[in-house]
Every structure is written in structure tokens, then in C-alpha cells.
Amino acid sequence: MHQNILENYLNDLLNTQQFRDYCPNGLQVEGRTSIQTLVSGVTASQALIQAALDLHADAIIVHHGYFWRGEDACLRGIKRHRIATLIKHDINLYAYHLPLDAHDQLGNNTLLGKKLGIEQEGCFGEQNIAAYGHFQKPISLDELNNLLSLVLGRKPLIIGDPLKPVQRVAWCTGAAQEYFEDAIQLGADAFITGEISEQNVHTARESGTAFISAGHHATERYGIQALGDHIAQKFGIAHHFMDMENPV
């Protein structure tokens, strides 16, 4: 498969043009023209690049790539080392950020909701990145804690009464603390995201809406894995999802 065919297909599939993102979506580092083996992962760390080298991959696709808005544009230190490794070994790097969060089939939010058994009703927040829905039957906050621990393989940080009934839920994978107030306005019993800020604790206690910090990496593993599997099936290439350990 040609590198440009893959980029054009993904840009159309994920509707990249409709998003105002914090980084470029698409082919960020150009490598060899032909792609037969693809590695996917959450973040384009040096460890993921090394795993791709070990698997003789032609391309890497990630959720968190490079060239973020506001960062130093100079290629020095860690950033230089990562990009130099990709260029030296002629490996393509594709990255899709907000478009992958929001996709209605392969997106991080959609897939996390399905894994938790939440029936999604709609989207909210800037660019409709976040989601809301409900459980068919209410469960306690403590039961939701156990469910998240089982699904994500890590114990979340929860601010709220463990006995609180939870039926209406709002969620957004990654770092989406800023949508907590919107979730409260939607009448959510609980809001799930990846990270928590100091002020979220007070807001949760005073509003009665539980705040759940379930892990940035942990909540964003499913979209990129599903996207890699989709590409492999669509184009008949090999795909390896690498879940590089990250406690955050």
C-alpha cells in the first residue's frame, strides 16, 4: 500500500478537515513509500518506535504524535532523537488526535462507552468531542469503580459517594477536565475522563456529580487499536498494536 493512499483514506474516514486541532493530523514524518507492516500505539514515544523497528514496520500510527501547538519547534533532545530514528529507518509516522476521539465507530469515546455498557445518546463540548448517555439500570458509584478497574486494568481515582446511584453518564477520554461543568449541566450522575485537576475535586463535592479520573493512556487505547485493525482488514497488511505501559 502506498503511504499517500493510506493518508488520504484516513483523512476522509476520520473527517480531519472538520476539526480545529492542537497538532497536524495525517502523515507527520514521511518514510518509505510502500507499507506492508503497521504498528499502532497511543503515543509516539521512543519505546514505541523501537518496538516498530523490532517488528520491521513500515509505518506507525498513533493518537499522540508530534508538533503540538505552542511547543518549541526546534529539533533538540528527546524530540530530535525520536524524529531522527524515524528518518534513519525510513518509517512513516501518522497521527490522529481529535478526529480519532470523536469518530462515531472507531473513536475513543465511542469504544470506551461500549466497553462500559453505556448507551450513548449524543455529544457535547467544543467540536462535539465529549459524549453522554446512560446505563440501562442504575449502578452504584462503587460498582462503576469496579467496572472501570476491570475494563481498564487500573484503579481509577473517584471523587464522590461510593453508594451514589449512577445512571446518566458523561465522558471524554484523555485530558478533558474542562468539560466537567458541561457534564453537570447535562444532569450527569458521573463524569469520566482521563485526568483530574485540583478544582475538579471541589466542584464534584459541591455539585453532587461524581468525577472519575480513569487514566489518560488507559482511556485512549481502544481507538488507535481499532483503527489499526480496520486498516489491516481494509488493505490486507499486517498490524501490531503495542500497548506501551503507562500508569497515567
| Domain layout of the chain by residue ranges | 3-98, 103-216
Q: What is the pairing mode between strands 92-95 and 210-213? A: unpaired
pLDDT of res. 97: 98
Asked if 187 contacts 169 with a C-beta cutoff of 8 angstroms, the reply is no
**What's the pLDDT score for residue 3?**
96
pTM: 0.96
Q: Can you list the residues of the chain whose pLDDT is less than 50?
A: none
Separation between Cα atoms, residue 192 and residue 195, nearest integer Å: 9
Predicted local confidence at residue 105, as pLDDT = 97
Tell me 155's DSSP state. P
Position 93 scores a pLDDT of: 98
Burial of 147 (0-12, 13-18, 19+ CB in 10 A): middle
Express each pLDDT in 114-141 by its tens digit. 999 999 999 999 999 999 999 999 999 9
Q: What is the pLDDT of residues 210-232, one digit of tens each?
A: 999 999 999 999 999 999 999 99
Q: Return the pLDDT at 212.
A: 98
CATH placement of domain 3-98: 3.40.1390.30
pLDDT for the residue numbered 200: 98
Please identify, in words, the CATH class of the domain defined by 103-216: alpha beta
The chain-wide mean pLDDT, for the chain, equals 97
